[in-house]
Amino acid sequence: MIEATGTLPPASPALWRDRIETPAVLIDLDIVERNIARCQKHCDELGLAVRPHIKTHKLPLLAYAQLAAGAVGVTAQKIGEAEVMAAAGITDIFISYNIVGAKKLDRLRQLAQAAQLTVTADSLDVVSGLATAFVDAPRPLNVLVECDTGMHRCGVATPEAAVELALQVHAAAGLHFAGLMTYPAPGAGTGAMAWLGAAARLCRDAGLSVEVVSSGGTPDLYRFRSEPAVNEYRPGSYIYNDRSLLASEACEEIDCALTVAATVISVPAADRAIVDAGSKILTSDLLGLDGYGFALGRSDISIPQLNEEHGHLQLTGDGPALVVGQTLRIIPNHACVVSNMVDHVHLVRGEHYVRQESVAARGKVL
């Protein structure tokens, strides 16, 4: 049941505590709505198109809410995620990934019948594969040249290499050079914007139209200021936020929409307890932090260690004792990866239950 209007469902009279078994992922829709509105307003003020990354939530329901707020389309990381979004009726999808290999190119071409697709390329190898697959496609595939503006993941290394590859895309019959993208540009002052500006200029000098220059990353979302080099932003985590964004002061605790509800299953000593949320739901992602999460309302508790089904809590003694059966809510280090660990999440509004929602794009590694 997807509300393709983008309206999120209301609370029920029931309390979530009465409805769930732990460990469970709770998504507070009141906070989600605030986060979506805030991001859209911010980007509207900067004249930036918003193309949210759905890897954070993996839920068509929330993709529709983002589109209803004003997003121009969505971003997915894998064809499998894009397939789920297209099956839910979403028609403008950027897959921010190099699509490589015959089986994947077949799926991409199939999917292009259902949605307007854009993909990346950062090498002639990738462009050649795309070109072969789309040479006789009914409509051309949009391709953004991925630029390494300092993060050293994928991407061409220089603005000169970007225009060279852009010309190859432009020359391919089934491909449309649509512009440039970068993996979350490093913070201000690192030269990423100058890099993109130079590359776009070179492309235009070569006679190419550069429709889109796309950046992303929630950490810098609200620090991002008007910047002529970029006209699209792909934030992901902003919809939920998490402990890593709290640590980087990109959000506050009341902005954290995703929490993991956990039950204390053992209190072996006064200063230690074990909860039923381990790495199988919180994941082992540290993102440079100490510990594996923050227990809401319990700054006296740290989570120094996880096993798959056990979260180790360390108590400083400044808070009340924990008892077996007690429920805690934990803000995870990294919300995106938590979404991928569960078949469904529980939608809530404050203490009230909304409903269970299947994580339709979970586990789409292909």
Q: Kindly identify the residues of this chain, within the stretch 311-330, that bind its own copies according to CB under 8 A.
A: 312, 323-325
Q: Of 36, 341, 347, 360, which one interacts with its own copies (CB under 8 A)?
A: 341
Contacting residue, 75, 276, 349, 361, with its own copies by CB under 8 A: 276
Is 248 a binding residue for its own copies by CB under 8 A? The answer is no
Q: Which of residues 157-196 bind its own copies (CB under 8 A)?
A: 157
Beta strand 352-358 with 344-349: parallel, antiparallel or unpaired?
A: antiparallel
Residue 75 interacting with its own copies (CB under 8 A): no
State the minimum distance, in angstroms, from the CB of residue 223 to its own copies: 21
**Binding status of residue 279 toward its own copies by CB under 8 A:** yes
Residue 286 binds to its own copies (criterion: CB under 8 A)? yes
Buried b / exposed e over 271-309, threshold 16 CB at 10 Å, is eebbbbbbbbbbbebeeebebbbbbeebeebbbeebeee
Residue 131 in contact with its own copies, rule: CB under 8 A: no
C-alpha span between 108 and 297 (Å, rounded): 46
Amino acid 146 reads E
Could you give the CA distance from residue 11 to residue 209 in angstroms, rounded to a whole number?
47
As a whole number of angstroms, the distance between CA 138 and CA 174 comes to 9
Determine, following the binding rule CB under 8 A, whether residue 65 of this chain makes contact with its own copies: no
Q: How far is CA 33 from CA 28, 99, 238, in A?
A: 9, 33, 11
| Dihedral Cα 112, 114, 120, 121, nearest 10 deg | -10
> Does residue 288 bind its own copies (CB under 8 A)?
no
Task: Give 15's DSSP letter.
Answer: B
Stretch near its own copies under the rule CB under 8 A, chosen from 109-117, 186-194, 237-245, 334-342: 334-342
Binding site for its own copies (CB under 8 A): 21-23, 55, 77-78, 97-98, 100-101, 103-104, 122-123, 125-126, 129, 148, 152-157, 263-269, 272, 274, 276, 279-281, 283-286, 307-310, 312, 323-325, 336-337, 340-343, 363, 365-366
